[in-house]
Amino acid sequence: MASASLPAPAPGRAELLKAFEESRTGVRGLVESGVSSVPEIFRHPDPYASIPLAPPGVSIPVVDLSLPFPDAAAAAAEAARTWGFFHLVNYHHALPQPADGGDYPARALAAVRAFNELPPAERAPHYGRAVDGGVNYSTNVDLYNSPAASWRDTIQIMLGPNRRPDLAARIPAVCSAEVLEWEARATAAARAVMGLLSEGLGLGSAALEEASCLEGKVMACHYYPHCPEPERTMGIVPHTDPGVLTVLAQDEIGGLQVKHQDEEGRSCWVDVKPVPGAVVINVGDLLQIMSNDKYPSVEHRVIMNTREEPRVSIAIFFSPGKRGDSVFYGPLPGLVSSENPPKYRNFTMGEFFGTFFSRDLASKALIDHFKL
């Protein structure tokens, strides 16, 4: 009598990742397939238990761009020093009016949603991790480095410093015009904020722009589908952004949280509830280094929501565009002296981003790598 065959061993993480990637439809594809539980590769151990939520009413600061420049600069500098995050309102004062009179960033957010809700066969040809074409659509930039994946899909667009002349044609047609229109407007907002923060450092309003900090640009269009078990996974794990400055447009769903330390040194997570007519600004690791720790880069995360509607956001990460092997960055010269020595060594952008991409998103080692 023939013996019964042994059951096949359960697939390991590498095999599960490979099968997920080969589907080419991202997390949205899992939802479309009708999954009723979060697959193992997306499960985070106790993701929300470590640090408490802030009491009701606690919120990030608001900076009003319609204020006189000295007042807005003082408010932005204070918000950056104490929170690393703020809502920017009345930023339309710095923006060109859209040629078609459209409502931005709402139109860009709607267009990103439309791409992610195309039939799988129309999304799949765009899926991949190669960045040499300037555009990719995938799940989790750190999918193979992180211990657990997060519940989101992303269109990533390399906007600068070396922008492909055919970039518009490489972005999915359903959202190309809208996201590039938003890029122009978000860049104008970033220019205004960099002027405020440079002034707040006592360096004059042009210091960050003169250091080419507007020229490096990456756009991440995030889509967070409905999750059947929101308590088991995350939208984005706690992390800091690597660049100088981030401009974030988010829809009305919410989910972004910022880690904040109160005056007694206690940490909590603060909900960044969407504010109509506002974008969210946050300090990145490079600005913490360039400001010699005057403006901290603060941890933030995206939690899963229990609503049926997906969350959509568009982040544009700004960083220096001059990236030759002989171009070095570190604390800005006007901020260091014998009384206030540099806290970080100088480095090239090649070394900086090489370090960033060698670790998972949640790692805290990036800034520490450059400390003196």
Q: Which of 87-91, 97-101, 216-220, 313-317 has the lowest mean pLDDT?
A: 97-101
Residue 278: strand pairing partners: 89
Weakest mean pLDDT among 88-97, 113-122, 168-177, 295-304: 88-97
Residue 102 pLDDT greater than 70, yes or no:
no
CA distance 238 to 44: 12
| Distance separating alpha carbons of residues 6 and 60, to the nearest angstrom | 57
* pLDDT at position 217 over 80: yes
Contact 220, 289 (CB under 8 A): no
What b-and-e string marks burial along 145-175, b requiring 16 or more CB atoms within 10 Å of the CB?
ebebbbbbbbbbbbbbbeeeeebeeebbebb
Q: Which of 281, 293, 317 is nearest to 367 (CA)?
A: 293
Number of helices (H) and strands (E) in the chain: give both, helices first: 11, 12
pLDDT at 7 > cutoff 50 = no
Number of Cβ within a 10 Å radius of residue 128: 14
The pLDDT, as a whole number, for residue 9 is: 46
What's the average model confidence in pLDDT over 319-341? 94
pLDDT at 88 over 50: yes
Question: What pLDDT is recorded for position 50?
Answer: 77
What pLDDT, on a 0 to 100 scale, did the predictor assign at position 2? 41
Domains and CATH numbers, the chain: 46-370 (2.60.120.330)
